[in-house]
Each structure stands twice: as C-alpha cells, then as structure tokens.
C-alpha cells in the first residue's frame, strides 16, 4: 500500500546527520559549521569519513558528537566496507514520517532515531572507468550501493530529511541553516532532493553506459574462474 502524507513540518531542526563521503573535501568547513550552528548535533559516520571527522573534532568533541554507524546499528562493517549502512535502523531513521504513529512505534521498538540530514557522495565510478586500461573488475568494485540507497531514501522523504551530495553546496547549506536557526524549510529540502535524484540518475547512467561497452563473452577473462 502506498503511503500518502498530508501533514508535514515546514521547518525541520537538523539534529542528527549521517555522513559517508568518498570526496572528503569541504568537511573542514562543514563539520565545524554544523557544530557552531547546533552544539548538540550528533554525527553518524563510517570508515574513512569517520576517521576524518574524528581528526577535525579532536578526541573530546568526537566523544560527544561522533557515533560510528556500526555502534548505532549493532552490526560491524563487512570487510572492505562492502556493507556499512544497509541496515533497517538506518532506513527507519531516513524514511519514517513524523506524524505517522506506526512509524514512530517502529522507531521506539527498534531504538532507532530519526536522521535529519544525509551527506553522501559516491564511489568515483566515472573517474575509474575513464582511466587507461581499467578492468571490468575495477569498474565493478567502484559501483556504490549504500550511497545511492541513502540518498534516494533521504530525497524521497524531503518531508523531513535533506540529502546533500556536493561539497560545493556546503557553504550554502550552512548559510541556510544559520538563517533558519538550525532548521531547514521544506522548499530548501526539496531543492536538495532534486539534486540528489539527478546525481543518482547520472551515476546509474554512467554505470549502464560503461557496461554497454563491455562484450559479455570477454568479461570472464578478468577472473580466475573455478
């Protein structure tokens, strides 16, 4: 059954932010900016992004504000970071609707929390396949799964969540948050949702275009088949 919503908040406070980025540029602006706007903000992160944020915050501030996704979900990352964020508690946090009693009961039942912002950019697929001599296996390994899923979930639920895909938007995002005293209105969230869907569409388009250039009968040559 499709869920239709007729009630939502215009202004949503940004209190919990999920951050997992391949391109870590701009974090030195974003992270201090978020804390300056809301000193109680909590940041959920994974892998190399978690380490970079911890460096930016320092030990004392990281202990207060930074939460490993694995600690939140109760599931350790799969080797190589293959599965980090594909977890029920993450998607409850992204997709639940504020005025849906059943959704709120799901949050309480699982001890999940609503996530207000997702900051994600994806594995560099286009850059990888643009290199000389790249193999189909190198291309396959650089197909991001969790990132597009999180972006799509956050963008679908612009009723409550804002997705951020481009480090070049961090400055404007922080300005909007300052103007909104730590909140973002629905028009702003919708604007970022449009960008997120355009980003994931272009990403999937690049993958599809590359795969179309590969002769299926040659793909096994990249592997030792058993």
pLDDT of residue 83: 61
* Calpha distance 2→5 (Å, rounded): 10
Q: Is 119 among the domain residues? A: yes
Q: Is 140 among the domain residues? A: yes
pTM above 0.85, yes or no: yes
Q: Is 7 among the domain residues? A: no
Contacts of 215 (CB under 8 A, 6+ apart): none
Domain that residue 71 falls in: 12-217
* Calpha distance 61→138 (Å, rounded): 37
pLDDT of residue 84: 64
In the numeric block, the tokens 């911890």 are attached to 54
> The CATH number of the domain where 43 resides is what?
3.40.50.1380
pLDDT of residue 75: 77
pLDDT of residue 164: 98
Q: Is 224 among the domain residues? A: no
Among 144, 140, 145, CA closest to 223: 140
CA angle 67, 147, 93 (to 5 degrees): 50
Q: Mean pLDDT in runs of 10 for the chain (226 residues)? A: 90 97 96 98 95 97 96 77 75 93 92 96 86 91 92 97 97 98 98 97 95 95 93
Q: Is 35 among the domain residues? A: yes
Beta-strand pair 183-184/12-13 = antiparallel
Q: Is 5 among the domain residues? A: no
Q: Is 1 among the domain residues? A: no
pLDDT of residue 3: 83
Number of domains in the chain: 1
pLDDT of residue 82: 59
Contacts of 170 (CB under 8 A, 6+ apart): 26, 29, 30, 33, 164
Backbone Cα Rg of the chain: 19
Contacts of 89 (CB under 8 A, 6+ apart): 72, 73, 74, 110, 111, 112
């Amino acid at each position: 059954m499709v869920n239709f919503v007729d009630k939502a908040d215009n202004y949503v406070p940004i209190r919990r932010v999920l951050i997992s980025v391949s391109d870590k540029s701009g974090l030195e602006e974003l992270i201090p900016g978020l804390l300056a706007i809301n000193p109680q903000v909590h940041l959920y992160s994974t892998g190399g992004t978690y380490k970079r944020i911890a460096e930016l915050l320092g030990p004392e501030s990281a202990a207060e504000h930074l939460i490993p996704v694995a600690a939140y979900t109760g599931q350790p990352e799969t080797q190589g970071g293959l599965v980090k964020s594909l977890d029920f508690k993450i998607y409850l946090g992204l997709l639940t609707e504020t005025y849906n009693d059943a959704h709120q009961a799901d949050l309480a039942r699982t001890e999940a929390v609503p996530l207000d912002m997702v900051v994600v950019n994806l594995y560099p697929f286009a850059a990888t396949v643009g290199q000389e001599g790249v193999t189909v296996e190198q291309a396959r390994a650089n197909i991001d799964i969790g990132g597009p899923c999180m972006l799509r979930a956050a963008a679908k639920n612009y009723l409550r969540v804002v997705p951020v895909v481009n480090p070049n938007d961090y400055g404007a995002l922080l300005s909007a948050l300052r103007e909104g005293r730590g909140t973002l209105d629905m028009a702003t969230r919708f604007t970022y949702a449009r960008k997120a869907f355009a980003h994931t569409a272009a990403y999937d388009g690049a993958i599809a275009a590359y795969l179309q250039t590969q002769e299926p009968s040659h793909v096994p040559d990249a592997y030792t088949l058993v």
